[in-house]
Amino acid sequence: MTTMTSPFLFPDTVAQADKLAIVHLRRDLQIPTILKEHDEDDEGYAEGKVVNTRFGSFPHKTLIGKSWGSQILASKVDTGSRGRRDQKSAKKQKKDNAEGPGNKRQQYEESTSETPRKKLRAEDGTPVEVAIDDTSVAKEESDAVAAQSGFVHLLAPTPENWTSSLPHRTQVVYTPDYSYVLHRLKVRPGAQIIEVGAGSGSFTHASARAVFHGYPGSEEVNGSATKRRKLGKVWSYEFHEQRHEKLQKEIEEHGLDGIVEITHRDVCENGFLVNGESPEAEAIFLDLPAPWLALPHLVRSKAAPFVSPLNPSATVHLCTFSPCIEQVQKTMSVMRQLGWVDIEMVAIAHKRFEIRRERIGIDNGSQRGLQSTPASVDEALQRLLEVEGNFKVFHENGTKVPKQKDNTNPNNRAKIIENLVEKKVYKEGKLVHRTEPEVKNHTSYLTFAILPQEWTAEDEARVCAELPIVARKGDCEVAMSSRAMRKAAAKAVREKAEAAKSRRAVAQPVISNDDTKGSKTQQRT
Amino acid sequence: MDNLVTPGSWVVLRLPSDQTKVLQIAKTNTISLGKIGTFASNRLLFRPYNLTYELLDRKGGDKDSDLRIVPASELHEDILVEEAAALLPENAGPSEIVAGDGVEFQLLGENGEVIMRSNRETIDDSARQTLTMEEIETLKKEGTSAGKDLIAKLMLSHTGLEEKTSFSLAKYKLLKTKKYLKRFTVLPLDVAMLTQRMVEQKDASKVLEIREEMLSLIGSWSNIHFSADPIPKARSGRWLVVDETGGLLVAAMAERMGILHQGYTPPEPKRSPQEEAGEELKDLKIFKELDDDINHTTDIQLATSNTLTMVHTNAQPNLSLLSYFNYHPNSPTDRSSREHPLAQRLHTLSWLQLVSPSQDTTYANPPSPLTSEELQSMKSGKRGTYYRKQRRYRKIKQIVDTTHAGGFDGLAVAASMDPISILRHLVPLLRGGASIAVYSSTIESLVKLADLYSTSRRTAFIQSPPAELQGLSSEETARWQGNEDFPLNPTLLLNVSVQSARVNEWQVLPGRTHPLMTARGGAEGYLLTGVRVFPAEGKVEARGKFLKRKGGREYSCWTTDSGAEGQEREVAYEME
């Protein structure tokens, strides 16, 4: 059971082998990695599989079994000598990496760290031709030895940290956008959502979390097999072959197969059916250049061979994600023609804030984070007077007042620690906030629309027969002034009270679900 | 959630003016829309949501109007006609733009006919409508074809109509449509709808002015999702909530967990409060419920996974908005509430029960068990009370004990209380890697909170930990209550950052696309997010960008501020 669960959905308390973990260096620098007990790709480290970061090397065996959120210290890893393997095999491996879609993880690990191989070449100038027996290096894995410095935090994957760490293949749908979209599309556990243009997979992961309502086949194990829940599913489409393959592999590695079904398809041409099966979706997210070309496939009923990909007995919510206003205008025009209602377009402005202490003053010496200008008029006056005094001394005595200059670097380690611990500079200054230097000013326009369930004259006739309408006779003022309405409302309350009184006198109070008492007017708002 | 309107469910009727009316719909009832008219509730029941209806003219002698479903093509009629006209060859495009004064201009067609009028000649006078008030009132009363006639007459009687530009013409028609058209749309009442309504039409301060985009961000950043563990009895998928929005946050989180509406049909709505006036009636009802109680000697089985644990300020939680989802937590005898998925999965406890359970009467004083003989001799009413007390005690004991055991997967806060005091008690209860999202309508409290986790404060804490922490285990250090310099243990949260999001709505019409001219002001709404971490024990030193300066001496960059810049540079610290 544990092997099939996704760390996104059931992270467990500790990091497990063969599952995704996020190695956290900084807020905007996180490295996703699949933890492996052994070096299956044969990368040649003595410690087995290793994550190399700019803050040190972290053999996977120092990560597996650790609680999520643990601070992990770096290990001493010999990143140099493994390059001295047979160049042929190294080259071959590199070629494999480039070709094989599966080695994506390794690629992004390397992109954040200097590859040992490169280093070696830089040192020697020419490729080294040292033949070392390949197997002897790879098979013996030694224990990790703690390094003197460097650490990371080990985090369980979430769609949020995945979004900020995933390998970018296309423009990513960021957290503020996908949160709002999933909210507006009413994507809840058990929903079927169509996602077109899976791209880098950030929206895919977020919607998998939103629709998740149990794994296929898990209902029986659960003990409450009596209550069959509807299981949610993400029907994802990607027309770019490599992206599709990579995403497919990611989904498998992340334990999300069964929840996400990815199809390599251009939906504008070929529609939404998967092996002839309709997704029966009630939510749709279109992130593609021409959403209006996909819309004609997203209709309720058409001539016979057409099978609608929509859930016939639910309202369908749609969102298109387009960066340009022209795309929105075209999309909306087609939406209106195809009978979508409540069409609305919004853009989301998102900001992150920098919170810091602003320390202004001249008496603190030069320190980091300090603006060395007078903090107030008084301080300016004090300084001016000091200068005036020095001038006076110079004119009267002809001698300069010796400057008391502290030659030690104010930014050295001991000084900073002293400032922190003794002077408590973290409490000094004015606490301020401002927008972070980089703002995502525009991601895309979000166009929302709704397609209500189809309701035919036959449906209407059927319900009318089941639940007849009892016509109330008599003349009633419909259009009336607010004053007249207040009067009428007061009258209705009086009548109701009287009716209740008489009912109480006549009959026993009935607490049941019968329909007879329903004749009162609902005035609740 | 049902796809059809069912009796007992709460629905929203949206009028052309964008005003909404919320009501619990019942069978064979009358629904009044004020001056627009009345109609039978059976006209809406068992039909799909999101349909737009038009009130037809009342037939002779009938009190209520009949309804007609308005097809989408009719809803978009104006725009579709306009778009079609734009495609016709004779209107292929203006050949010339004659500039007037400033921004005013006229568009002339090929034959010199005016396509787009400028507003130079228009007279800014509202009194250009020739229909008098009385005439409009009579027309309204006649009320033919759902107000469309009236709107047409109004347009025709406007003397300045031909002087209007197409922009102002469209605006004028929209204005009159909103006022007189007898249409409404039936919408389901869900969290999104409720949020919108609370913020726009009701008292926004009651829900801390929380907007939809912020509510959805809280959900994402606290990582709340359905998580009933496939392995029975395992404790997983448990979230902590502090909600001072009357239950809106709890409802939003429950919706994400799939426990707010779940294929569950509530009974017919109870009688309205006015009807419950009679005292005898009430007594009878209570007796009946007591009888029910005796039959229900079994406890509600509290779930161990996919749960929300809410810590509340008053003796009873304020979850009044959950009544829109047919859950009434403060009347446990209510049958529909007992059967609601929230009954098993929403656990509530007060701050007193969390922080100092020994001082809580319910928790500290278990009712003394009675023998079966003693019970036999009791009156049925007393026996019912005894069972109820027993159940209440068992429930609160289980909730308090499991909460103290900790290991929660996340924390979502939307409160006006000081967030520092909230985190002091709740952060230690989170598992490693748990996500935290704290909402506040204003930024100041979050700025203060984020400052307590600043890089420099954390460095100082690690460099010289407070004396009282000497010799404490890491577990005890996590539960440390803080001192003046370090009100919270700054090493327990990682990635503390503050953000805000805002949705801007646009008008998209052929040739008239722009952001809406007005929007709601008020509280912006901010969110602080973070991750619960465990600091490593022993010597920790960072590696980072080492800068070489004069003399080739290496030293690491230090930072004294938090936020992005602080995280840009690497911090080195060591523990003695």
Strands B493-507 and B514-515: antiparallel
Residues B218, B168: one domain?
no
Q: Residue range B390-403: average pLDDT?
A: 91
Condensed to tens digits (0 to 9), the pLDDT of residues B441-478 reads 999 999 999 999 998 898 888 888 888 888 888 888 88
The answer to whether the CB of A11 falls within 8 A of the CB of B433 is yes
**Domain boundaries, position B392:** 213-266+284-452+493-535
Residue in A155, A433, A476 nearest the CB of B443: A433
- What order of strands is seen across the sheet that includes strand B10-14? B20-24, B10-14, B183-188, B52-55, B67-69
Q: Using one digit for the tens of pLDDT, what is the confidence trace for A105-147?
A: 444 444 444 334 433 333 333 333 333 334 334 445 667 777 7
In a domain, A446, yes or no: no
CB A141 within 8 A of CB A38: yes
Instruction: Specify if A505 maps to a domain.
Output: no
Tell me, what's the pLDDT at A158?
A: 93
Predicted confidence at residue B522, as pLDDT, reads: 83
Give the range among A20-24, A390-394, B162-166, B377-381 with minimum mean pLDDT. B162-166
CB spacing of A436 vs B140 below 8 angstroms: no
Helix (H, G, I), strand (E, B) or coil at A240: coil
Which amino acid is it at A514? D
pLDDT attached to residue B326? 86
Q: Do residue B560 and residue A425 have CB atoms under 8 angstroms apart?
A: yes
A301 lies in the same domain as A201: yes
Contact B204, B158 (CB under 8 A): no
- pLDDT bracket for residue B136 (50, 70, 90): confident
Q: Are A372 and A366 in contact (CB under 8 A)?
A: yes
Pair A325, A268 in one domain: yes
Q: Does residue B179 form part of some domain? A: yes
Q: Is residue B34 assigned to a domain?
A: yes
Cα atoms in the Cβ-side hemisphere of radius 13 Å centred on A312: 7
Q: Are B185 and B220 contained in the same domain? A: no
How far is B322 from chain A, CA to nearest CA, in Å? 15
Domains of chain B: total: 2
Which residues in B lie closer than 8 A to residue A333 (C-beta atoms)?
A: 83, 510
* Cα A239 to Cα A222: distance, rounded to the nearest angstrom: 37
pLDDT band at B548 (very low <50, low <70, confident <90, very high): very low
Residue A469 lies in a domain: no
Instruction: Please report whether residue B394 resides in a domain.
Output: yes
Helices (H), A100-174: 104-112, 116-124, 134-139, 159-165
Residue B431 to residue A12: CA distance in whole angstroms: 10
Question: Which residues from B are below 8 Å from A493, CB to CB?
Answer: 274
- Note the ipTM here: 0.82
Using alpha carbons, select from B191, B567, B226 the residue that is nearest to residue B414: B191
The average pLDDT across A435-447 equals 92
Least confident span in A334-338, A432-436, A481-485, B127-131: A481-485
Averaged pLDDT, A349-366: 80
Determine the Cα–Cα distance for residues B502 and A349; give it in Å rounded to an integer: 5
Q: Is the dihedral of CA A499, A505, A511, A513 positive or negative?
A: negative
The reported pLDDT for the residue numbered B427 is 95
Quick one: A257 and A110 in the same domain?
no
pLDDT per residue over A85-113, tens digit each?
A: 444 444 444 444 444 444 444 444 444 44
Q: Which two tokens stand for residue A5?
A: 């669960």
**Closest chain A C-alpha to B470 CA, distance in angstroms:** 17
With an 8 Å Cβ cutoff, are B37 and A149 in contact?
no
Are B157 and B223 part of one and the same domain?
no
Check residue A92 and give its pLDDT.
Answer: 46
Nearest CB among A71, A186, A349 relative to B501 is that of: A349
**pLDDT score recorded for residue B313:** 92
Span of A168-172, A360-364, B303-307 with lowest mean pLDDT? A360-364
Residue A177 confidence class, pLDDT cut points 50, 70, 90: very high
- Do B260 and B137 sit in the same domain of this protein? no
Residue B574 or B536, more confident: B536
Q: Does B465 map to a domain? A: no
Nearest CA in chain B to A449: B50
**Cβ-count burial A442-469 (b if 16+ within 10 Å, e if not):** ebbbbbbbbbbbeeeeeeeeebeeebeb
What are B195-254's pLDDT values in tens digits?
988 888 878 888 999 999 999 999 999 999 998 765 555 557 899 999 999 999 999 999
Q: Which of A71, A149, A353 sits opposite B534 (nearest CB)?
A: A71
Q: Write the CATH number for B121.
A: 3.10.330.20
Contact A196, A287 (CB under 8 A): yes
pLDDT of B482: 85
Mean pLDDT rounded to a whole number for chain B: 77
Q: Which residue has the higher pLDDT, A60 or A181?
A: A181
pLDDT at A481: 54
| Rg (chain B; Cα; Å) | 32
> For residue B182, with 0-12 CB atoms within 10 Å meaning exposed, 13-18 middle and 19 or more buried, which class applies?
buried
Most confident residue range from A50-54, A79-83, A511-515: A50-54
Residue B542 lies in a domain: no
Query: Which amino acid, residue A368?
Result: R
Question: Are both B147 and B234 inside the same structural domain?
Answer: no
Residue-level pLDDT at B122: 53
Query: What are the C-alpha distances in Å from B522 to residues A356, A433, B517?
Result: 25, 19, 16
Phi, psi of B115 (to 5 degrees): -90, -45
Task: State the CB neighbour count (10 A cutoff) for residue A126.
Answer: 6
Q: How confident is residue B489, by pLDDT bands cut at 50, 70 and 90? A: very high
Q: Are residues A114 and A190 in the same domain?
A: no
Q: Which two tokens stand for residue B224?
A: 């709340």
d(CA A5, CA A217): 12
- pLDDT cut 70: percent of chain B above it: 72
Same domain as A180, residue A62: no
* The pLDDT of residue B224: 93
Rounded percentage of chain A residues whose pLDDT exceeds 90: 31
The C-alpha of B390 sits at a distance from chain A's nearest C-alpha, in angstroms, of: 27
A246 is a domain residue: yes
Taking the CB of residue B266, how many other CB atoms lie within 10 A of it?
20
Domain boundary among A306, A325, A347: A347
Domain match, B181 and B117 both: yes
CATH number at residue A294: 3.40.50.150
Of the residues B189, B221, B239, the one at which a domain ends? B189
Is the same domain home to A153 and A168? Answer: no
Whether residues B3 and A314 touch (CB distance < 8 A) is answered with: yes
Residue B159 CA from chain centroid, whole number: 47
Query: Range with the lowest mean pLDDT among A56-65, A196-205, A378-387, A462-471?
Result: A462-471
Measured between its terminal Cα atoms, the distance across chain A in Å is: 49
Residue B455 near residue B566, CB atoms below 8 Å: yes
Q: Which residue has the higher pLDDT, B175 or A180?
A: A180
Identify the pLDDT of residue A96.
Answer: 46
Angle between helices B191-200 and B212-221 (to 10 degrees): 130
Higher pLDDT, residue B191 or A525: B191
Task: State the Cα–Cα distance between residues A271 and A239, nearest whole angstrom.
Answer: 12
pLDDT at B423 over 90: yes
Q: Do B48 and A368 touch (CB under 8 A)?
A: no
Contacts of A352 in chain B (CB under 8 A): 497-499, 564
Residues A145 and A238 in one domain: no
Q: Are A295 and A368 contained in the same domain?
A: no
pLDDT at B135: 74
Of A370 and A431, which is predicted with more confidence? A431
- Say which amino acid occupies A157: P
d(CA A250, CA A381): 65
Q: Let me know whether B397 and B517 are in one domain.
A: yes
The whole-angstrom separation of Cα B322 and Cα B342 is: 10
d(C-alpha B489, C-alpha B477), whole Å: 8
Q: Which pLDDT band holds residue B426 (cuts at 50, 70, 90)? A: very high
Which pLDDT does position A296 carry in this prediction?
Answer: 92
Quick one: how far is CA B480 from the chain centroid?
34
Closest CA to A178 of A221, A201, A207: A207
Do A44 and A190 lie in a common domain? no
Compute the radius of gyration of chain A from its Cα atoms. Answer: 34
What amino acid is encoded at A214 in this protein? G
- Residue B565 to residue A184, Cβ atoms within 8 A: no
Name the residue range of residue A365's domain.
Answer: 356-399+419-435
Model confidence pLDDT, tens digit, residues B341-363:
888 889 999 999 999 999 998 89
Chains A and B form CB pairs within 8 A to the count of: 415
Beta strands B52-55 and B30-32: pairing type? unpaired
3-class DSSP state of A354: strand
pLDDT at B107: 46
Instruction: For an interface test with B, give the residue of A420, A485, A493 to mutate (most B CBs within 10 A).
Output: A420
* Same domain (yes/no): A338, A362: no
CA A512 to each of CA A168, A433, A509, A521, B337: distance values in angstroms, whole numbers, following the listed order: 60, 59, 9, 19, 16
User: Residue B342: in which H helix or E strand, if any?
Assistant: helix B341-345
Indicate whether B70 and B140 sit together in one domain.
Answer: yes
Residue A446 near residue A180 (C-beta atoms within 8 A): yes
Task: Give every CB contact of residue B382 below 8 A, 6+ residues apart in sequence.
Answer: none
Inside any domain, residue B204: no
In a domain, A482, yes or no: no
Regarding whether A191 and A311 lie in a shared domain, the answer is yes
Q: CB-CB: which of B48, B502, B567 is closest to A27?
A: B567
Closest residue in B to A156 (Cα–Cα): B433
CB–CB contact A69 B463 (8 Å): no
| Residues of B whose CB is below 8 A from A229 | 258
Closest by Cβ to A352, choosing from B65, B497, B562: B497
Nearest Cα neighbor of A489 from A519, A520, A517, A523 is A523
Greater confidence (B93 vs A323) lies with A323
* A496 within a domain of the structure (yes/no): no
Domain shared by B6 and B134, yes or no: yes
Residues in chain B: 576
For residue A257 the two structure tokens come to 């197969």
| Residue A442 phi, psi (nearest 5) | -145, 125
**A366/chain B closest Cα distance in angstroms:** 13
Residue A27, token pair as written in the block: 């807020």
- Is residue B165 included in any domain, yes or no? yes
How far does Cα A87 stand from its chain's mean position?
Answer: 41
How many folded domains does chain A comprise? 3
Better-scored residue on pLDDT, B508 or B3:
B508
A446 token code pair: 């979000």
Instruction: Give the residue from chain B lying closest to A452, CA to CA.
Output: B50
Question: What distance in Å separates the CA atoms of residue A324 and residue B22, rounded to the nearest whole number?
Answer: 37
Determine the average pLDDT of the residues in A453-471: 86
The residue whose two tokens read 């109004």 is B154
Task: For residue range A25-77, list pLDDT tens digits in order.
Answer: 887 888 999 888 877 666 667 777 888 888 888 888 888 888 899 998 888 87
Query: A-chain residues within 8 Å CB-CB of B447?
Result: 355, 431-433
- B528: which strand partners? B438, B498
Which range has the worst mean pLDDT, A92-101, A418-427, A489-498, B502-511?
A92-101
The answer to whether residues B159 and B308 belong to one domain is: no
User: What is the predicted pLDDT for the residue at A185?
Assistant: 95
CB nearest to B456's CB, from A349, A426, A450: A426
**Identity (one letter) of the amino acid at A210?**
A
A398-412, B48-62, B171-185, B479-493: range with lowest mean pLDDT: A398-412
Q: Alpha helices of A312-357 — where are they, by DSSP H? A: 325-337
Q: Pick left, alpha or beta for residue A430 (phi over 0 → left; psi -120 to 50 → alpha; otherwise beta).
A: beta
Q: Which amino acid is at B442?
A: T
Q: Is residue A365 part of a domain?
A: yes
Q: How far is A459 from chain B (nearest CA, A)?
A: 9
- Please give the pLDDT value at position B232: 53
Same domain for B317 and B257: yes
What φ, ψ does residue A232 adopt, rounded to 5°?
-85, 160
Asked if A41 and A138 sit in the same domain, the reply is: yes
Taking residues B132-161, report their average pLDDT. Answer: 69
Compute the residue count for chain A. 525
Task: Look at residue B571 and tell me if it is in a domain.
Answer: no
Asked if residue B345 and residue B301 are part of one domain, the reply reads yes
Assess if residue A497 is contained within a domain. no
- How far are the Cα atoms of A228, A230, B1, B224, B320 from residue B263, in angstroms, in the given order? 10, 10, 6, 21, 22
pLDDT of residue A402: 67
Confidence of residue A352 (pLDDT cuts 50, 70, 90): very high
User: Token pair 């063969």 is at which residue?
Assistant: A18
> What's the gap between Cα A36 and its chain centre?
25
